[in-house]
Structure 1
């Protein structure tokens, strides 16, 4: 996650939002690390994705700890349900229904 954070900061960008596209652990286990580096940034996902993360995160975290012998990121952060139907990226609106 340190490399990801460095790539965000290097060109002088400001991370405002992390969009979690789906509930696979590889897509959200690093949220706590990003939040510690970018505390002002929020994490969002479609409401259906948030519900699936809540329902499966304990099992996925356990599986990843076993697969990576305790070295996997152990995230407990849950993204907020996205409100509205558009995500702004560098001032450009992207409709969220394309992510489902």
Structure 2
């Protein structure tokens, strides 16, 4: 299987320690979520949303909103998630998701 372009860069995975390839045996599944930069008064925070999540303001996340980036997560056996890579586009996240799933 062809590796996604971003796994062959000198930076590696941008959410793992030192950009290292994850230990695939730690994960039971993978997923991705949209992340938005949201203003909270004088501060801006990165907020990850589930694809069908209700935002704190009571509105559902809408794909019409400007997504800042897409994060691919590995789901651990204990249910926790670990960020693997932030992608610029949904298409990149989908490609990386397929690759990650092929590794387990």
TM bucket (normalised to shorter chain) is: under 0.3
> TM-score, normalising length from structure 1?
0.25
- Judging by fraction of residues, say which structure has more strand: 2
